Amino acid sequence: MTAQDNQSGNPALFTPMLYVGAAIAIIAFVFSGFMLMTQGHAAFNMDANVAWGLPISTYVYFALMSSGLTLLAALAMVFGFKQYYPLVKRAIWLAIITLVAGLAVLAMEIGHTFRMLWAIPLNLQVESAMFWMGVFYLADLIFLLWKFQRMERGDWSSKLSRQVGIAGFIAVVLAAGTLALVFGMMSMRPFWYDPTLPVWFYATAALTGVAGLVFFTYLSYGMNTERMPKALRMDMEGPLPRLFLILLFITLVMFLARLTTGLYANATEVNVVWADYLLASGWFHLGVWGGILLPFVLLLARGLRQSPAIQMLAAVLVLVGMFIERLYFVVGGQVVPLFKGTWERDLVAYVPSPTEWVLTVMGIALVFALYALGERLFNLSDMPQAEPGEAEAEPEATAEARS
């Protein structure tokens, strides 16, 4: 299979996407940087009660999407599910750029963006989950870049390439799990305090990763599967949408379990967040029912599940819905005041400021610009050459995968 055969089928899209995305990202960066330099953290609608807002939820969203994409790539790189190889290189590139976008938003939220470059290494807060989250995500990014460089050189399965893939898988499992512990270990925030939170993060990371891969793959080929290489087309018609459906089911079951526990457990601070904040918001209902339940229903029927339009719709619904869920998760843990005297105030109100929204737009624009750059510079549909025995078995395997 030649490189030309593997190239994406919608090349005219990527030049304007690159320039428009880069322009939006630069303008958003300049605007938010100006606001932070002139107003400081007052540019954000955050205070001592709600210290983490939209920028943090955007970071969590992109970081977990990156983790999910890496977990998806690990199906082929680590666990030997070779039918996923046509998806691996695009998944790795998307994992790199979404993690970069998340870290860029986080760096702007910190305030003094460059101070973390020396403050974190020199202070070594080794008992902090947040410190280890940074270490593991940095290791994750290094291994992703290293693995992508090996694949770009045509080295998919050498001993070193396999070791890099395994190391990247271990790093991302530790990174996503530690990110969950940043929230889950806070006993003073009962809504977050949950030893099962890493499981929820892994499941939703995988879900958003698959949704992101579906979205960008169809975007690359203009929604036309006939333009795709045969192996990739078989994946998009069989294994990937089926995995998408399974992850939607797992996420839906876990959400219903969290909802039931939150509403009926003997924990007032948790009950009030679910009843008076989350379920009282139409946006939250749109995010979880429109972003989890509706895509699950759409993909249940095999005929619909194989439709590019339905897959694309389900992917967009999941990406939007999980973005809303991340925001309500991050803010929901802080709406119950920590300190109460003889009076008890209402739930803390929070609405993201324009600067916070601009930072989010910067992250999204950065993802689109870097993805377009990747499509222009690399062959993201590349895959290892099949050995003779594997090539003969391919038609039977793909037919079985589609059933």
pLDDT digits (tens, 9 = 90+) for 45-81: 988 889 999 999 999 999 999 999 999 999 999 998 9
Q: State the Cα–Cα distance between residues 197 and 183, nearest whole angstrom.
A: 8
Q: Nearest-CA neighbor of 14 among 313, 218, 219?
A: 219
Phi/psi of residue 347, nearest 5 degrees: -60, 145
Instruction: State the fold for domain 14-336+350-381.
Output: Formate dehydrogenase/DMSO reductase fold (1.20.1630)
What DSSP designation does 12 have?
G
For 286, the enclosing helix (H) or strand (E) is helix 282-288
How many CA atoms within 13 Å lie on the side-chain side of 131?
A: 10
SS3 assignment, position 15: helix
Output the DSSP codes for 50-110: --S-HHHHHHHHHHHHHHHHHHHHHHHHTT--GGGHHHHHHHHHHHHHHHHHHHHHHHHHH
What DSSP designation does 340 have?
-
Cα 264–Cα 265–Cα 266 angle in degrees, nearest 5: 115
| Cα→Cα distances 76→52, 234, 246, Å | 36, 15, 18
**N-to-C CA span, the chain:** 25
Structure tokens at 95: 């994992």
pLDDT of residue 398: 47
| Cα→Cα distances 144→17, 155, 181, 201, Å | 24, 14, 23, 20
Going residue by residue through the chain, which has 403 residues, state the pLDDT in tens, using 9 for 90 and above.
Answer: 444 444 566 677 899 999 999 999 999 999 999 998 999 888 999 888 899 999 999 999 999 999 999 999 999 999 989 899 999 999 999 999 999 999 999 999 987 767 777 777 777 788 888 889 999 999 999 999 999 999 999 899 889 999 999 999 999 999 999 999 999 999 889 999 999 999 999 999 999 999 999 999 999 998 888 889 999 999 999 899 999 999 999 999 999 999 999 999 888 889 999 999 999 999 999 999 999 999 999 999 888 999 999 999 999 999 999 999 999 999 999 998 887 654 566 888 899 999 999 999 999 999 999 999 999 999 998 888 765 444 444 444 444 445 5
Domain ranges of the chain: 14-336+350-381
Output the DSSP codes for 141-205: HHHHHHHHHHHHTT-SSSHHHHHHHHHHHHHHHHHHHHHHHHHHT-TTSTTT--TTHHHHHHHHH
372 close to 21: Cβ distance less than 8 angstroms: yes
Residue with tokens 């790539």: 73
